[in-house]
Amino acid sequence: MADLAAHAGVSEATVSRVLNDKPGVAASTRQAVLTALDVLGYERPSKLKRNSAGLIGLVVPELTNPVFPMFAQVIETQLAAGGFTPVLCTQTPGGVHEDEYVQMLLARGVSGIVFVSGFHADTRASVDRYTQLRDRGLPIALVNGYRDGIDATFISHDDVAAMHLAVRHLRDLGHTRIGFATGPSRYVPVQRRVAGYRAAMADVPGVDLDELVSTTLFTIEGGAAAARTLVEAGATAVIAGSDVMALGVLRAATQLGLTVPGDLSVIGGDDVPFMSFIDPPLTTVRMDVNAMAEAAVTAVLEEIAGEKVEHREYLFEPELILRRSTAPLAR
């Protein structure tokens, strides 16, 4: 009762009246308590249970990268608040394919699908799978990965701006040999970040940018491998394509006998939980997961409701979070 009252900003007596379905409570207050009930994970009393307005599919990559559970949690909470039941479909290497998940969701009569970093982010993958869904009139939202030819809502992190923030910070600290460790180059966000990195570094004299970009895997091991390559190329600072990769960069620095940030400055990406608790706390470029997830859900639900939705890409601004993994270049 206390948890619900605190979350909804009402008294425990008001919570009691709502849970017992008593009159005398304003509709907005009643809804605030019910929303708190759902958000905090409590089961509704049987008399207050509502029928689902329908199923919404949520297709995400593996959950080992903490940014994807962050998206899933916010999207599922927003869908539940809108009266829909989310169906989480998680892809794993060698597991169920995205297209198989989509066929399963269609067979269950879903009202819409939200895709997070799916095949729409892979430039080698066909967009036909998405155009076919749109031809059926199915509302979809595609998060992090824009492709031409799909009449749908795209929600993206501004990867170019993210790189400008990271590079500018390191250059202000005196670094000129700034390396970039990222995932496979076939992905749209990677291509955009590389373009942003090159633009931000274009006026640095005497620096071979080709040897300061390392594309590996979006894993700890990939970050470590990229860091070793970049340090060998003379990098005094490394920007990682994700916080998970940044953990690999930190590991490689320790193995190479380097201190962070004394010998090597490191910047991550996403700002997933616990990055402020590692040693040293990680400077990173925050992705606005909450706003992006809410926008994706809003676009799908509005289209389901028959409202006119402008199908375009919406870019969400990054934020540089300064901690202790970056420092001025040692002279």
- Range 28-40 average pLDDT: 82
Mean pLDDT of 8-15: 91
**Average of pLDDT values for 245-259?**
98
Q: Mean pLDDT lowest for which of 11-25, 152-166, 194-208, 289-303?
A: 11-25
Give the pLDDT of residue 39.
76
**Could you give the strand order of the β-sheet that contains 319-321, starting from the edge strand earlier in sequence?**
213-215, 178-182, 237-240, 265-270, 283-286, 319-321
pLDDT at res. 145: 96
Q: Quote the DSSP letter at residue 262.
A: T
pLDDT band at 28 (very low <50, low <70, confident <90, very high): confident
Reported confidence tier of residue 52, pLDDT bands at 50, 70, 90: low
- pLDDT, tens only, 267-277: 999 999 999 99
pLDDT at 108 exceeding the cut of 60: yes
pLDDT at res. 330: 86
**Residue 49 pLDDT:** 60
The per-residue pLDDT for 24 is 85
Q: Please give the pLDDT value at position 22.
A: 86
pLDDT of residue 106: 94
What percent of the chain is predicted at pLDDT more than 90?
A: 81
What 8-state DSSP symbol labels residue 86? Answer: E
Tell whether the model's pLDDT for residue 41 goes beyond 80.
no
User: In whole angstroms, what separates CA 265 from the centre of its chain?
Assistant: 24
DSSP string, 136-200: TT--EEEES---TT--SEEEEE-HHHHHHHHHHHHHHTT--SEEEEES-TTBHHHHHHHHHHHHH
Where is average pLDDT lowest: 61-70, 127-136, 138-147, 242-251? 61-70
DSSP symbols for 275-296: TTTSSSPPEEEE--HHHHHHHH
- Asked if residue 304 has pLDDT above 80, the reply is yes
CA 261 to centroid of chain Cα atoms: 26
Q: What is the mean predicted confidence (pLDDT) over 146-155?
A: 97
Averaged pLDDT of the chain? 94
Residue 102: its pLDDT value, please?
Answer: 96
Whether 50 shows a pLDDT value over 70: the answer reads no
Cβ-based neighbours of 129, under 8 Å, separated by 6 or more: 98, 99, 102, 119
Q: What is the pTM of this model?
A: 0.84
Q: Between residues 62 and 59, which one has the greater pLDDT?
A: 59
Strands 283-286 and 313-316: unpaired
Tell me how far apart the alpha carbons of residues 316 and 128 are, in angstroms, rounded to a whole number. 26
Can you give the pLDDT at residue 75? Answer: 96
**Cα 279–Cα 282–Cα 284 angle in degrees, nearest 5:** 175
Structure confidence at residue 146 as a pLDDT band (50, 70, 90): very high
| pLDDT number for residue 186 | 97
Mean pLDDT for the stretch of residues 306-325? 96
Torsion angle defined by CA atoms of residues 27, 4, 273 and 193, in that order, rounded to the nearest 10 degrees: 0
Contact 187, 121 (CB under 8 A): yes
Give me the pLDDT at residue 25, please: 86
